[in-house]
Amino acid sequence: MLWTNLSLEELARRMADLGTPVCPKTIKQFLDLHDMGHRQAFKYVSMGENKDRNAQFENIAGLKQSFLASPNPIISMDTKKRELLGLFYRDGKLYIQETLRVYDHDFPSFGCGVVIPHGLYDLKRNLGYLNLGTSHDTSEFACDSLYQWWQADGRLAYPHARSLLLLCDGGGQYLFKQDLQKVADLMRLEIRVAHYPPYTSKYNPIDHRLFAHVSRACQGVIFTQVEQVKYYMEKAHTSTGLKVVVNILDKVYKTGRRIAEGFKKTMRIVFDPLLPKWNYRAVPAAN
């Protein structure tokens, strides 16, 4: 593939040095003739592919179809990129009377905190739900976020639900399963989990149906307080009716936790026959 990072003016000077003087406009016409547009790299090439990729995508499609025809919710879950609080640069432009001045380096030690947006996207209702954590991104935080959504919104929206389909990125360590089991007990609801295969997180609906619009709503805003993050993220919307609810979870989450001794023997996690590492159910305790 032919390419150059020279400007039109630089190309014109080189042509003149070679004995063929032309103006930049002529250079542009010549490039257009050979379909050489001013393009940038596009993140498209996968860094890897799992042999079970297609089988899992077909499985997820079947699960979604069966849940769409039921009174049970379909929730896409993921954590958005963390935001540093303080005078840190963020992409985007604002209408403003003078230039915003921020730090020339993004050193967390110069900030006044961090915000970790954990997101849940309700596919049936086109509703985004964000819980803003202020400590660490842990499996306990993710499960608390799911339970927060259920208590505040889910149980009212789905009063006849008996199961919940949770679409997640790759992962599913036993610590997550342990925390998920506790949530299933609290919700008294079966939680069916389907993980997207490695290198395919961009297909998780929450990325393009929620996070992309949240990022656009926050473009150029310098975040200095968690309440400010909440305000702007709640402004995200689309012409198709997306609404976003944002809450703050200021609980301090510990890192380095380990699963309880004996959990693997007593757990009520039921693995599917098909690709059990990506598909399983957390069954609530019997009443």
Query: Where do the domains of the chain lie?
Result: 1-40, 53-282
The model's pTM is 0.84
User: Which class for 65: exposed (0-12), middle (13-18), buried (19 or more C-beta within 10 A)?
Assistant: exposed
Question: Does the pLDDT value for residue 120 go beyond 90?
Answer: yes
Return the pLDDT at 178.
97
* Max CA separation in the chain (angstroms): 89
* pLDDT band at residue 45 under the 50/70/90 scheme: low
Second CATH level (architecture) for the domain 53-282: 2-Layer Sandwich (3.30)
CB 129 within 8 A of CB 80: no
Return the pLDDT at 43.
66
Structure-token match 């997640």, residue found: 168
Q: Which two tokens stand for residue 245?
A: 């609810």
Kindly provide the residue ranges of all beta strands, DSSP E only, lying in the chain, ordered along the sequence: 74-79, 83-84, 114-122, 127-133, 163-168, 190-195, 243-249, 269-271, 279-282
CA-based Rg of the chain, rounded to a whole angstrom? Answer: 24
Q: Rounded to 10 degrees, what is the CA torsion of 173, 144, 170, 164?
A: 110
pLDDT digit string (tens) for 65-100? 999 999 999 999 999 999 999 999 999 988 888 888
pLDDT digit string (tens) for 145-173? 999 999 999 999 999 999 999 999 987 79
pLDDT digit string (tens) for 179-204? 999 999 999 999 999 999 998 999 99
pLDDT digit string (tens) for 200-257? 999 999 999 999 999 999 999 999 999 999 999 999 999 999 999 999 999 999 999 9
Quote the CA–CA distance of 30 and 114 in Å, as a whole number: 50
Quote the CA–CA distance of 195 and 104 in Å, as a whole number: 39
